[in-house]
A = this chain, B = another copy of it.
Amino acid sequence: MTALDLLFAPRAIAVLGASATPGKLGAAMADSLASFPGPVMKVNSGRPDPDRGFFPSVGEAAAAHGITPDLVVSCIPAAVTADALREAAAVGARAALVCAGGFAEAGGDGALHQHALAEVVRDTGIRVLGPNTSGFLAPHRRLTASFVPGAPDLERGPVAVVAASGGVNHALAFALAEAGVGLRLGVGLGNSLDVTQADVLDHLAEDDGVRAVALHVETAAEGRRLTEAVRRLTDRVPVVALVVGRSDIGDFARSHTGALATSWRVTRTALRQAGAVLVDDERDLVDAVTALSRVRLPANPRPGIGLVTAQAGPGLLLTDDLRSHGIQVPPLAERTVKELRELLPALTYLNNPVDTGRPSPALTQVVERVSEDPGIDLTAVYGLLEPTAVDLPAALTAARTATPLVAVVGGPVEQARQTRRELGEAGIPCAATPASGSVMVRALVEDAAARTRLEAVLTAPDTPTLPPLGPVDEHTAKGVLADLGIRTPVRRVCADPTAAHAALDDLGGPVVVKILDAEILHKTEVGGVQVGIRTHEELDDALARMPASPALLVEQMAPAGPELIVGVRRDPVFGPVLALGAGGTAAEILGDVSLRLAPLSAHEAHAMLDELATRQMFLGARGTTPVDRARLTHVLLALASLAADDAVAECEINPLRVLPDGDVVALDAVLLLRDPRDQGGSDDA
């Protein structure tokens, strides 16, 4: 039993603000709850009418019904909510749904009301969903705690919706119904005063009836709790996540549920790293979760897709969509093609996609042969309905396949809907268009790939030795990096020009001379870096051009090569975030950066380079030496372990140059420390 069982599975319910006046929220809510099999008590303190079942308080309602309500559903205004809930808690209510708006999201007095409600939670331990939400839906308990018309008719099924907004919860529930998929639990979190996304996900992790979760995120508030909840859940149940905020919608979003503390990119990175499948819009969310509620592939870094199509044109659309999203549609084995040739007319295309040329009676066998191919992990079938030629649901459900199927069925509206429903009920996800079918296949593939990443072992962080608190100069920062096994240039700290000349003799030219001053972060901009110095004369010239500084750093110059930027910083919500980007102007303008939360597995660190748009620059394009992937991975893991120390605020290596031997060297480094006691403890707990 989870802490939210009394919220989502109460024995008895009381409705605050229950009303008999049609059109009032409290009336709509009482109507929706009418199908609940347990007692539903109506409370209306303003116009009590016990003869007609409207009690003045929860206490009196409980006494009359002979049972204490576990759940209180509040339809009363913000200003009176806290007191009413405190009273309900006093008589034994353990959970509440607060529908009213007018709390923190509204500003003004709303913040006071929200504060008062938070105090009730703290004092009484009552769990509160909302405020500012249209409620939740649990069809398998015949429990519709929602005032939205039509909500009580939603059917039970395998999908849970965890939405930031009540409106999105309902919109998704209806869209899933249109896709023929029922609901296990649908929750709109509203302001998330108490019950959060992570709480609901933890609750779902204990629910055997859930087969897939649709997660809608506007504002991630408890970074690591959320990612840990997703990670736990994805072991058993796939999670598909839609994160709002790709564009700058901050102003309206804040008015809706509060400030955005982190970024869209970091939130997506965090959820993906935790094992969620990410989608770009709610249309894709419905398709992806529909597919994953019916089928899940075994963990596989790169599943192969077999395509069978009854019509070449739409099959080409599906093939093109999958391939352009990087999905593997491999050639079939010679043996498979030979077997297919015996099943199909001459002149049809056989080598993935397999074009059967109109819906063929041999479809069942064709799908079986393709699915048995050693390179195929999932078979997708397109068919425009031609019932005179073949019964598509019968043909597909008859196929005894070694691998799961996804179907795409077009055709006359009602017939096609019916066919999709039949296939869905037979456990075969079925889309209406090649584009939707592609979303389904990609969701299954991404989920399978995500689990291979989760299976990889997390790297235990090293424990680097840090300098004392305060500004850190470049030499000291590089010393910390060197201790972590990151290559840095051979260098000398010089107190004065004489020492610098000695260093030149010692190191040999060419060298770089830099000012060494922990207070100056941007040395180049003040003329504090001079490169390519080979002679004592050039050194004197360089020193003359540089600003005064406490000391000088003389370094051996590294050979030319492509440059990367790596760094770690603390996100206010998710804690340490590692970034890898291409150096140089174009990449900076393009924002070509790959992100991961730290700590991370070697597998994740290794994959970061592959996400850069400019990755070819580091993989041997134009005759350059490819970067040594193991060395680069080491640098990333080292920075991640550095950030495990709460005293590290930020560390950046810019540039990290690729040497002719493929190793990487930190040409410049910045390390910013902080006093962890100033931060209210670790932000990534």
Residues of A within 8 A of B (CB): 22-23, 28, 101-102, 106-108, 110, 148-150, 153, 163-171, 174-175, 177-178, 188, 216, 218, 244-249, 251-253, 255-256, 281-284, 286, 311-317, 319-324, 347, 349, 351, 353, 355, 357, 384-389, 410-413, 415-416, 432-436, 438, 582, 584-587, 589-590, 613-614, 616-617, 621-622
Contacts and interface: CB of A to CB of B under 8 A. Distances in A.
B316 A435 contact: no
Nearest to A386: B149
21 contacts: A107-B347, A153-B412, A164-B313, A167-B311, A167-B313, A167-B314, A168-B313, A168-B317, A171-B311, A171-B313, A171-B411, A178-B432, A247-B324, A249-B316, A251-B351, A281-B317, A281-B435, A283-B433, A589-B613, A589-B614, A590-B614
Nearest to A247: B323
A163 B319 CA distance: 17
Contacts of A351: 251
A171 B384 contact: yes
A282 B282 CA distance: 17
A284 B433 CA distance: 11
A314 B245 contact: no
Nearest to A434: B282
A384 B167 contact: yes
Contacts of A435: 281-284
A256 B174 contact: no
Given A174-B412, A246-B320, A281-B321, A312 B589 contact: no
Contacts of A415: 150
A355 B434 CA distance: 35
Contacts of A168: 311, 313-314, 317
Nearest to A311: B167
Contacts of A584: 586
A150 B586 contact: no
Contacts of A248: 323
**8 A-B pairs with the lowest CB-CB distances in the bound complex, closest first:** A165-B313, A167-B311, A150-B412, A247-B323, A281-B435, A168-B313, A247-B324, A586-B586
A163 to B, nearest CB: 7
Q: List the number of copies, as a whole number.
A: 2
Contacts of A284: 435
Contact of A317 (B166, B244, B315): B244
A256 B349 contact: yes
A299 to B, nearest CB: 26
Contacts of A355: 252, 255-256
A617 B585 CA distance: 8
A617 B589 CA distance: 7
A613 B621 CA distance: 20
B171 A410 contact: yes
A385 B150 CA distance: 9
Contact of A148 (B255, B283, B357, B386): B386
A255 to B, nearest CB: 4
A436 B150 contact: no
Given A174-B412, A218-B313, A317-B244, A110 B347 contact: yes
Contacts of A256: 312-313, 316, 349, 355
A15 to B, nearest CB: 17
A282 B432 CA distance: 11
Contacts of A23: 388-389
B255 A165 contact: no
B353 A178 contact: no
Contacts of A582: 586
A315 B410 CA distance: 30
B586 A252 contact: no
Contact of A357 (B101, B149, B385, B614): B101
Contact of A410 (B28, B102, B170, B410): B170
A388 B587 CA distance: 54
Given A163-B313, A316-B253, A323-B249, A149 B387 contact: yes
Contact of A28 (B388, B590, B614): B388
A347 B101 contact: yes
A683 B341 CA distance: 41
Nearest to A310: B167
A100 to B, nearest CB: 11
A28 B613 CA distance: 52
A241 to B, nearest CB: 14
Contacts of A385: 149-150
